[in-house]
Amino acid sequence: MEIIGIIDYGSGNLHSVTKAFETVANQIKKEIKVMRISDSKHVSKCDRVILPGVGTFNDCKIGIEEVDNLTFELEKKIIKEANPYLGICVGMQLLADKGFEGRETTGFGWISGHVEKIPIKKNIKIPHMGWNTVDFHKEHEILKNIQKDKREMIVYFVHSYQFELTSDTNLLGSCDYGSRITALIEKDNIIGCQFHPEKSQKAGLEFINNFINWYP
């Protein structure tokens, strides 16, 4: 049986994320158990790890640090053992070297870059909230069968800060919101999405399906 662990550290739309993964898992012809993980010792049991995040970069990082050994266990599972990881919203942003929401805060540093506020421009409301089109920058298994032959997908966003990548090598998808917004990133066994797949209806469920069936 494959175990998908959704990290519960006091932040994130856990109910919706859990239900979305359970819905997809129930349609796949293999044994899958979706679990909420609030104790770091259970991270070792996971075959795949999901890190949601709602709120500020700083608050989410503090929430993770307040769970004994969680940072250590996540790094062991994702970096050393190379299990698939999906970071959603702030769960993606935490992959950066640092974030500047509230105050400067160190991230995981697994994908080089920093998190800063979306530029304020005329006719651009902050937060970036609602549906937007993500344009794909390259092919990847996580995008298989989404929007068929189109190199884009329409998904749901809610955020005020954005991930500024050091290198576009890790850029998988972006959207336009007055400027280019990093929407989807990847590196080896790591995927991060700024949008919320659990709120993105058919495209979001297909994205989750692809992640569950992805073997990097």
Residues designated catalytic: 89, 196, 198
Q: How far apart are CA 212 and CA 20, in angstroms?
A: 12
Written as six digits, the tokens of 69 are 């050994």
Q: Is the peptide bond before 127 cis (omega within 30 degrees of 0)?
A: yes
The helix or strand, by DSSP H or E, that contains position 7, with its residue range, turns out to be strand 2-7
Q: How far is CA 76 from the centre of its chain?
A: 18
d(CA 128, CA 70): 30
Paired with 117 in beta bridges are 161
* 116 CB-near residues (< 8 Å, 6+ apart): 99, 100, 161, 162, 164
Element (H, E) at 131: strand 128-136
Is residue 171 within 8 A of residue 165, CB to CB? The reply is yes
Contact indicator for 47, 83 with CB cutoff of 8 Å: yes
Local structure of residue 178 (DSSP, 8 states): S
